[in-house]
């Protein structure tokens, strides 16, 4: 009954932590492609091929349902995978859907025409690849009108978090927020469009100011996944073990992950 969680590095652990707390009875298998992180500077074909390899490994671990807890993979690879690659007895889902639902206050299956929403000026903080894909803007446009989205590519933040250098990560966050505010001085809402960024959520909020509503993905994904599995319990795979898999060096990744989640995490080679 295992469910797979995939990310290019440790960022997806924010999603894992939230879904484990929401569904403690479900064994989750986490796959971090640390050997090829970060994905945010790679081209779309490279991201697609790496994501396919990771998903196949999670299927081997007994996970019929895999969550791409990586905005870059969700933006650059997910639609192509769903349209031409994922077999009928498997599911691969991304992390954009719960975020769009929260921002527009409408369910994903609601196909009524786009309508006005509360947020008019939205700041999007994401990796260069996610920004370049314009996936968030495209999905938002299907459901909302009159929303101005200003995207800021946050180069270096993922690298700093992966290296455990949170002082550098905080400095980069403030720099990127300053750059965005020069383009959009008064955003109503901000999207943390990378699963690494919740670790810096407090720093984003401080730099943006208390009037800006910050949307972070982990808890939204957890609630969405719980609802999905309640409707589709058949998508729980045959796996029974909680596992942490990495393409990187297991000890180093385990140390970083333990620091990241503040509990003991032990990765093994994928």
Residues designated catalytic? 70, 194
> Tokens 């490994």, residue?
57
DSSP state of 198: G
Handedness of CA 113, 115, 119, 123 (dihedral sign): positive
Name, in order, each residue with C-beta under 8 angstroms of 180's C-beta and a sequence gap of 6 or more. 123, 125, 150, 152, 187
10 Å Cβ neighbour count for 106?
A: 17
Whether the CB-CB separation of 33 and 8 falls below 8 Å is answered with yes
Nearest to 93 by CA among 204, 5, 198: 5
> Can you tell me the distance from the alpha carbon of 127 to that of 41, in angstroms, rounded to the nearest whole number?
8
CA distances from 225 to 40, 77, 184, 236 (A): 25, 20, 33, 11
> Can you tell me the distance from the alpha carbon of 218 to that of 183, in angstroms, rounded to the nearest whole number?
27
**E runs forming strands in the chain:** 3-7, 28-32, 65-68, 91-93, 115-116, 121-126, 144-145, 148-153, 189-192, 213-215, 243-246, 268-269
């Amino acid at each position: 009954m295992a469910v797979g969680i995939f990310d290019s590095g440790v960022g997806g652990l924010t999603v894992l932590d939230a879904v484990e707390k929401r569904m403690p009875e479900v064994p989750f298998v986490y796959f971090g492609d640390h050997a090829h992180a970060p994905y945010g500077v790679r081209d779309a074909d490279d991201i697609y091929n790496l994501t396919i390899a990771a998903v196949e490994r999670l299927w081997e671990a007994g996970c019929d349902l895999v969550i791409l807890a990586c905005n870059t993979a969700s933006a650059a690879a997910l639609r192509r995978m769903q349209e031409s690659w994922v077999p009928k007895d498997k599911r691969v889902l991304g992390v954009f859907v719960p975020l769009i639902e929260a921002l527009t206050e409408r369910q994903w299956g609601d196909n009524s025409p786009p309508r006005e929403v509360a947020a008019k000026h939205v700041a999007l903080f994401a990796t260069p690849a996610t920004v370049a894909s314009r996936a968030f803007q495209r999905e938002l446009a299907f459901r909302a009108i009159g929303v101005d989205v200003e995207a800021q590519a946050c180069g270096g933040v993922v690298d700093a978090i992966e290296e455990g250098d949170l002082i550098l990560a905080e400095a980069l966050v403030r720099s990127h927020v300053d750059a965005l505010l020069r383009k959009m001085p008064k955003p109503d809402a901000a999207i943390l469009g990378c699963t690494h960024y919740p670790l810096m959520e407090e720093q984003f909020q401080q730099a943006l100011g208390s009037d800006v509503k910050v949307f972070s993905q982990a808890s939204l994904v957890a609630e969405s996944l719980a609802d999905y599995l309640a409707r589709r319990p058949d998508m729980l795979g045959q796996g029974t073990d909680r596992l942490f898999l990495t393409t990187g060096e297991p000890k180093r990744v385990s140390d970083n992950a333990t620091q990241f989640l503040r509990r003991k995490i032990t990765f093994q080679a994928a």
